[in-house]
Amino acid sequence: MCGIVGYIGDKNCVPVVIDGLKRLEYRGYDSAGIGMFNNGGISVTKVIGKVENLQQEVKNQGLDSTTGIGHTRWATHGEPNVLNAHPHSNNDGTLIVVHNGIIENYPTLKAGLKKLGYTFKSATDTEVLAHLFDAYLKSGYPFFEAVRRGLKDVEGTYGIAVISTKEPDRIVVAKKGSPLLIGVGEGENFVASDAASIVQHTKKVVYLEDGEMAEVFKDHYHTKTTDDEEVNKEVHQIEMTLEEIDKGGYPTFMLKEIMEQPESLKNSIRGRLLQETGDVKLGGLENVLDHLLYVKRFLIIACGTSWHSALVAKSMFETYLRIPTEVEYASEFRYRNPIVGPGDAAFFISQSGETADTLAALKEAKRLGALCIGVCNVVGSSIARESHSGVYIHAGPEIGVASTKAFTAQLAVFALITILLARRKGMSVEEGQSLVSEFAKIPETVRGILSQNDLIEGIAEKLKNATNFLYLGRGYNFPVALEGALKLKEISYIHAEGYPAAEMKHGPIALVDENMPVVFIAPKDATYDKIISNIQEIKARKGKVIAIATSDDENIDQLADYSIKIPVTRSILMPILTVIPLQLLAYHIAMKKGLNVDQPRNLAKSVTVE
């Protein structure tokens, strides 16, 4: 949610910041802005909408500077217009700030600053920071100290970058609740909210922790806490490559990410499946394995698509481990005084590892004594670092706002965790071997399903004008129904609901008529017969049925208007397969409606505000 990039060195900062912002655009795209030193002052350029508009505007102005900071915004306070875009400046335009997060006590700060004579141009919470830092600067504090003191007055969350004409040899950055890192270069340094924006320049990064700040010069940097204590920071080497964050010949990131699932799944399970012993190896859980086997309860906490993975994981855990498992929305968990203690193990699923509610829930569960395990995609992300231990899903960078390959990688990792623990709780070697060998085939099975892209595109063409969709599934595939519906509504703006198939009789069936497509996830499993009855109930009301069925199902074609076949696998692995056609269906419907699937309106990839 919102992206920050800054550069200090000898080169022109403009292409570095603009290219970096483009890579962060998936985090927010309401407006964009850049500010840089120019002729002894600071020039600020801001536009509505995409970073490419900003690029054009900066080009028109012919701007060039060796130090600058930029921002791409997802509006929290104030509508997305130029005045509310970042950077925000003090009244005389000598200091600017870009900010991710929310300043909760901004009305109080604003009132106080107004009394001191400051005038406000925007409706944002961020503008108070510019005036607040200015007030400390004008009281005689050096730049870094002025920012530090200002931040002590602030309640809320922030990742910020600030420059001032008073000390133009540095960028000051700080972090609390929103990610911020320093990219360490040779004779140049970078600041960013996300490593993807600077990976083409350096692979060395320093992640700031909450309550830390830094002054970044072109050839060195200096880190402290906001309590004025010195901190020595480790330099991390990031592994992400530029190719991984480019579209690789696909028209959209979303299609690229859907299509690369055979590879991303291979990466998720690589080295973790032990075929001979029918076992699983997860290095990140080794030190907590005994603890995990004896907990009384599992909690799985997440938001959005990751929450759907959590629901699948609950079925896996309860079926194979017989450990009671509760799934919680992170935002609900943290505010309801949860009953959690040392007898619990809590899993926190997050693609980005930065979702504010999930991070806050993790801190709360930790405080209450639960063993906390992060299941994240982004290596070195806040949730990964804050957890006691964890497992990376290794899906590679996911840029499309609607999550696809991270979802299937999350499911794969939870199936791995299940087998790992089940083998220690009495699952036989033979059963382990059978599951592991079936699991190893999954990436290639997914490739086979993806080859039905044209068929699914044809179905999308027929259904693209529907205004409502229903997605129904049972057991392991009920969360897949939720995920299918979420994918469609996120990117096509068509209203869609996911329901447990039998539960549709208690409400949604009232909506069914000849205009209502109903997607059934109907593999041949224990509840197959019941699902077939549900399909008949929909057909009796003239609904259009799209069935995701297994290849051994010979009768479904007579019942369904459209059917998409997937190979047979074990139930625990089935959601990894059944979701693939739903991703493609949502994708093609949205594309046929001419929509931007990578950056759907109002959404952001990583929700770092509460």
Shorter beta-carbon distance to ligand G6P: residue 171 or 486:
486
E strands, 53-138, in order: 67-73, 88-89, 95-100
> Whole-number minimum distance, CB 587 to ligand G6P, in Å?
14
Q: Binding ligand G6P by CB under 6 A: which of 403, 408, 477, 569?
A: 403
Min CB(246)–ligand G6P separation in Å: 20
Mapped onto helix, strand or coil, the DSSP state of residue 370 is coil
Q: Which residues contact 411 (CB under 8 A, 6 or more apart)?
A: 309, 312, 313, 575, 576, 579
> Judged by CB under 6 A, how many residues of this single chain contact ligand G6P?
16
Binding part of the chain for ligand G6P, among 143-151, 279-287, 399-407, 503-511 by CB under 6 A, reads 399-407
363 catalytically annotated: no
| Stretch near ligand G6P under the rule CB under 6 A, chosen from 80-88, 131-139, 285-293, 396-404 | 396-404
CB of 351 to ligand G6P, least distance (A): 4
Smaller CB distance to ligand G6P: residue 8 or 384? 384
**Which region among 51-59, 117-125, 398-406, 426-434 touches ligand G6P (by CB under 6 A)?**
398-406
Q: Which of residues 578-607 bind ligand G6P (CB under 6 A)?
A: 603, 605-607
Taking the least distance from each CB to ligand G6P, the nearer of 69 and 393 is: 393
Q: Which of 197, 352, 387, 583 binds ligand G6P (CB under 6 A)?
A: 352
For residue 358, state whether it binds ligand G6P (rule: CB under 6 A). yes
- For the question of residue 605 being annotated catalytic, the response is yes
Spell out where 104-202 has E strands.
Answer: 158-164, 171-176, 181-184, 189-192
Strand 88-89 with 517-522, pairing = unpaired
Beta strands in 417-482 (DSSP E): 468-473
Alpha helices for 387-428 (secondary structure H): 405-424
**What's the CA angle centered on 47, arms 67 and 91, to 5 degrees?**
65
Retrieve residue 312's tokens.
């699948």
Q: How far apart are CA 149 and CA 154, in angstroms?
A: 9
Q: Which of 124, 350, 387, 583 forms a contact with ligand G6P (CB under 6 A)?
A: 350
Q: How far apart are CA 116 and CA 93, in angstroms?
A: 17
* Binding of residue 178 to ligand G6P (CB under 6 A): no
Choosing from 101, 183, 262, 304, the residue that interacts with ligand G6P (CB under 6 A) is: 304
Choose the catalytic residue: 22, 50, 176, 605: 605
Kindly state the smallest distance separating residue 498's Cβ from ligand G6P, in Å. 14
Minimal distance, residue 353 CB to ligand G6P, in Å:
7
- Nearest CA among 604, 76, 518, 2 for reference residue 304: 604
- CB of 205 within 8 A of CB of 238? yes
CB 94 within 8 A of CB 162: no
Q: Which residues bind ligand G6P (CB under 6 A)?
A: 303-306, 350-352, 355, 358, 401-403, 603, 605-607
Active site residue ranges: 2, 605
